[in-house]
Amino acid sequence: MRKLTLPALLLVAATAACDSNDAAVVLGAAGPWAEGYGAMNRLGMELAVEELNARPEYADRPIRIDFQNDSGSGALAARIAQKFVDDAAILAVVGHVNSGAMVSAAKVYDGRLAAVATTASSPDLTGISSWTFRVISSDTANGVEIARWAARRKLTRAAILYENNSYGRGLADAFRASFKGEIVGMDPIDEGDKQSFEPHIAYFRVVKPELVFVAGTELSGLAIVREARRQALQTTFVGGDGWTGLAADTAVAEGVYVGTPFSARDPRPEAQRFVEAFRKRHKMDPDGNAALGYDATMLLAEAAREAGADRERIREYLRKLGGERRFAGVTGAISFTPGGDPENKQIVVARFQRGALAVEAQ
């Protein structure tokens, strides 16, 4: 047997590494990873990759993700989308995570690269491109469902706050159009927690809404509820799926309602298997962000395995899901409408109890 010199061994190792890398199924992923909801999306994606690569059917073609931070910025998201499009190794994209970023990126992906958004729920995405899909229901449907929930609870007097972006405006408008009672105020707010919410809460103490609906994300949400606790405002708070991150402060979140696509207390076996795996890997409960990131990654990996390393065929695989041919996700079965929205999926309104979202009788 011929012995190899050290340089020859290094060359063999390098060649093997290249071959292994070339064999990988490479997906792009983009989101605001420094934000709580973005971080949870990424944890779900990472768990999916770990599980997939442990399966024998992925031994020859492991899954790899190129993570890019778009900071939730539309301009940056468009540049990252172009980078993904130009990289022939990338077969499809998980994301983007939020609505404004996905709206901008979708125009770049159109005709060139399939993308499955995770938690981008703006109605502006419906039909924006035949190459763009999402695994979360549209804010049009979500706002309607939260308004119906309020009606079932006989809440007839509401105030609305919304982040002045694509997500906040779309969700707030859908809720307002569907709410059958009186709206005593509807005001835009800044993203993040730098704004003072003292005037808003003081006003609510005067007009006494039975319900305060907030279309925003976790940082502004935590600041609003903290100020409400400080002023001892007695009312029901409900947020959209952007509020799942309120679990970061369990004391503040206790009793708050959230329209969520997933609950860690969902009793379905597939949901509980995911919850246990997530707890084992990350030492915490998953939220809807993590579950949707996981589902989108699993779906695209399956599409690439079935369709092969061909962008067009992966896109066709996604478009042809429907009927009995649906992907079994932990958030429910997944197939898409012609506009790229998930079929027959909707949020449920759950309540924070001891740090977890519990679904009550609807």
**Are residue 170 and residue 250 in the same domain, yes or no?**
yes
133 & 18 share domain = yes
Q: pLDDT averaged over the chain?
A: 92
Q: For the segment 228-262, what is each residue's pLDDT rounded down to a tens digit?
A: 999 999 999 999 999 999 998 999 999 999 999 99
| 238 located within any domain | yes
Q: How many CA atoms lie within 13 A of 181 on its CB side?
A: 22
Residue-wise pLDDT tens digits, 71-129: 999 999 999 999 999 999 999 999 999 999 999 999 999 999 999 999 999 999 999 99
9-63 pLDDT, tens digit each: 444 444 344 444 458 999 999 999 999 999 999 999 999 999 999 999 999 999 9
Tell me the residue ranges of DSSP E strands in 197-326: 211-215, 236-239, 257-260
Buried (b) or exposed (e) across 102-121, using 16+ Cβ within 10 A?
A: bbbbbebbbebbbbbbbbbb
In a domain, 1, yes or no: no
Q: Which residue has the tokens 């279309």?
A: 215
Domain-embedded: residue 179: yes
Residue 99: half-sphere exposure toward Cβ, Cα within 13 Å: 24
| Residue 206 neighbours by CB distance under 10 Å | 7
Average pLDDT (179-191) is: 97
Cα distance between residue 201 and residue 275, in whole Å: 36
Are both 21 and 112 inside the same structural domain? yes
Domain interval for residue 242: 140-260
Same domain flag for 151 and 119: no
Specify if 356 maps to a domain.
Answer: no
